[in-house]
Structure 1
Amino acid sequence: MPLMDDNPAVTRRPIGREGLAAAARYALVCLAAYLCGSRFTALFHGESAGMGGLWSVISGIVVLQSTSRDTWKSAGVRVFGTAIGAVVSGGYLVLLPFSPLGMAFSIGVTVLICHALNVPEYGRLAALTVAIIMVISAANPALNPLLNAALRFCESGIGAAMAVLVILLWPRGDGGRN
């Protein structure tokens, strides 16, 4: 079996300033998103505050891109996709309790809505939102489904906002506008 050093397709490069800056941006987005998301959620539902922080972190990671333009575009996809998923899962949970079949059905409906709205690329993030909301409702049956959906939407917005803020305040070395 050949070693990595023997493979001409694999080249090692030093990390460099931009690699260190990218890692620092991700770390900063995650820290800010977790702190803001968990504290925000704790105001309304302390039991899911940790999950709220995590959902904000996930959103921040998903949204943060290497350029300002791509980060803004990703933030729009994230927020709109999350809104679709929150509406579908919140609506389902108002009518019926959590079930794996209900979650699968809601994810299918969510993806269909994204296609019907001609935004199929939003389907993946909208589906993730449905899954998060449904599982949190299963873990916290006393949590009002509409509050759950609203919190998850806000947490996603918090994470997206942290990513946009970091890329605006600390763009790539070339200005990050590519």
Structure 2
Amino acid sequence: MRGQVQYITITVQYLLVSLLAYLGAYYLTGSISGTPIMTTTGALWSMVSGIVVMQETRQDTIDNAWLRVLGSLVGAVMSGLYLSFLPFNPFGMAIMIGLTVLICQELHIPGHPRLAALTVGVIMVISFLNPDLNPIINAGLRFCESVIGSAVAILLIAIWPSEVGSPEE
């Protein structure tokens, strides 16, 4: 019985993180960009951040959120700078991802260069798909959406009465 309750708890936690992160970013991005594709893409990015941040314990969720936000900041700055001077190019994107991973390693953000690299890729592809979007606004929105998803995960895990984790624990 305890295992079933924990399965339901975990399911509801992920359901709530997904919904709240999506809606939070949907309204933020929608108030700034206004286009349905950008609004939905931003909401999706926030939801992904919230899900990625959720871990088995409260402390692990908080630690993961911090690294997610820091990695997203590095990725947003790198891609925003690149796109301020150069248009999207797959080779440029690959180089920026490499530089972003290197910077994360130098800043001792182990295990999370992949999230920073994903942030670079998402921002650069979104700029390619929407060339009229200011690259700094694009990067800023993606960073804010990562923060929203991470904050929702932290808030939920802080007020939830049990840890996220496997029912076998």
Fold match, TM over 0.5?
yes
- Could you say which structure has the larger radius of gyration? 1
Quick one: which amino acid aligns to residue 61 of structure 1?
A: I
1:172 deviation in Å? 1.6
Question: Are 2:23 and 1:35 equivalent residues in the alignment?
Answer: yes
In the superposition, relative to structure 1, how do residues 16 and 118 fare at CA in structure 2: closer, same or farther (>3 Å)?
same
CA contact (8 A) 2:17 2:51 kept: yes
- The whole-number CA distance in structure 1 between the counterparts of 2:55 and 2:163 is 14
Q: How many residues align?
A: 162
Q: Which residue of 1 aligns with 2:138?
A: 148
Q: Distance in 2 between matches of 1:173 and 1:63?
A: 14
Aligned to 1:108: 98
Tell me how far apart the structure 1 counterparts of residues 46 and 108 of structure 2 sit (CA, whole Å).
26
Task: Give 1:66's match in structure 2, choosing from 45, 56, 69.
Answer: 56
Equivalent residues in 2 for 1:78-117, closer than 5 Å:
78-117=68-107
Larger RCO of the pair (alpha carbons < 8 Å, separation 6+): 2
Please state if 1:17 is matched with 2:5: yes
What's the TM-score once normalised by structure 2's chain length? Answer: 0.92
SS at match of 2:111: helix
The Cα shift of 1:171 comes to 3.5
With over 3 angstroms needed to count, the CA separation of the structure-2 counterparts of 1:102 and 1:173, relative to structure 1, is closer
Ranges of 4+ aligned residues in structure 1 off by more than 6 Å: none
Residues of 1 paired with 2:155 and 2:163: CA distance?
16
Give ranges in structure 1 of 5+ residues lacking alignment: 1-12
Structure 2: gaps of 5 or more residues: 165-169
Q: Distance in 2 between matches of 1:21 and 1:74?
A: 20
Give aligned-pair identity as a percent. Answer: 51
- Deviation per CA, 1:72-122: give whole Å up to 9, x if none: 001001000000000000000001000111110110000010111122322
Q: What whole-Å deviation, never above 9, does each CA across 1:48-68 have from its counterpart, x for those lacking one?
A: 110110000000000011211
Conservation of the 8 A alpha-carbon contact between 1:68 and 1:171 = no
Cα separation, partners in 2 of 1:14 and 1:173, compared to 1, 3 Å: closer
Q: TM-score, normalised by structure 1?
A: 0.87
Out of 113, 128, 134, the position equivalent to 1:123 is 113
The structural deviation recorded for 1:173 is: 6.0
